[in-house]
Chain A
Amino acid sequence: MDAANGVTVKFFSLLREALDCEERIVALTPDVTTVRALRQQLIAEGGPEWEETLTQPRILIAVNQVVVTADHRLTKGDEVAFFPPMTGG
């Protein structure tokens, strides 16, 4: 699976630590067309730990570096990121 035919998924901060995963490539199939479906796919592939981590409240999701809602439609080559609320400044 290469990134051009699917989406690159990145994890930051405590999500990266909990999943022990910085980045992975996920194929876009007819079932995986939105951010919500992508999260379900990640949980299906990853198991209970992924479910617990990715269903926490207040997780933010960005597509191509812009925060989106779960309904956002995905396109091949998209960069998707999951992260907790920001704490900079």
Chain B
Amino acid sequence: MSVTVQREAFDPTEEYQRLLAVCPGAALVTFTGYVRDIDEQADVAALELEHYPGMTERVLADIGAQAELQFGLQAWRVVHRYGRMAVSDPIVWVGTLAPHRGAAFDGCHFMMDALKTDAPFWKKTYRLDGSSDWVSAKSEDDLQRQRWRNTRT
């Protein structure tokens, strides 16, 4: 239904209201991801998120379209930030609307898992001690993604 990739901060509450207004379905599930305050090494001061403009929007739209088809969603929306952000800022928001809770939960869960491994974003953490590092991809994320491929109907 809709994808927004933006540098600016967003308000999850506003996103919730907006999605509900588009299509007042029977079940609405949302997920909000926030910048963590710690990583594997030390306390995090800030996060920089690089992306591939164009491909990012395309991949997120494909993931949403697949979720819509696979789980019978009535509506969905993804908001993802890029650029520099502070600890506890919202980074990502996914909302799914469906006639029943199972489809809304599964659709939202699938979209988040697919987004983690398929959407071209790369995180770099800046720590309080001044060091910075690119975040490594986690094998758990690949396993989570694979789970949906195995159960694909």
Q: Are A86 and B121 in contact (CB under 8 A)?
A: yes
Q: Is the CB of A83 within 8 A of B122?
A: yes
Q: With the chains together, A13 CA to B50 CA distance in Å?
A: 7
One of A12, A14, A58 near B120 (C-beta < 8 A): A12
Q: Do the beta carbons of B122 and A12 come within 8 Å of each other?
A: yes
A66 and B61 alpha carbons, distance in the complex (Å)? 13
Q: How far is the CA of A13 from the CA of B136 in the complex (A)?
A: 11
**Could you say which interface size class chain B belongs to?**
20 to 34
Does B92 contact A86, Cβ atoms closer than 8 Å? no
Nearest B residue (CB) for A13:
B122
A84 to B121, CA, bound (A): 10
Say yes or no for A47: interface residue by CB 8 A criterion: no
Given A65-B54, A81-B52, check contact A86 B120 (CB 8 Å). yes
Whole-angstrom distance between the alpha carbons of A13 and B54 in the complex? 16
Residues of A within 8 A of B (CB): 10, 12-14, 58, 62, 65-66, 81, 83-89
Q: Show 14 residue pairs from A and B whose CB-CB distance is below 8 angstroms, ordered by the A residue.
A: A10-B52, A12-B52, A13-B50, A65-B55, A81-B52, A84-B122, A86-B118, A86-B137, A87-B116, A87-B122, A87-B135, A88-B51, A89-B80, A89-B115
Given contacts A62-B120, A89-B116, 6 further A-B contacts (CB under 8 A): A12-B50, A65-B58, A86-B121, A87-B123, A88-B91, A88-B122
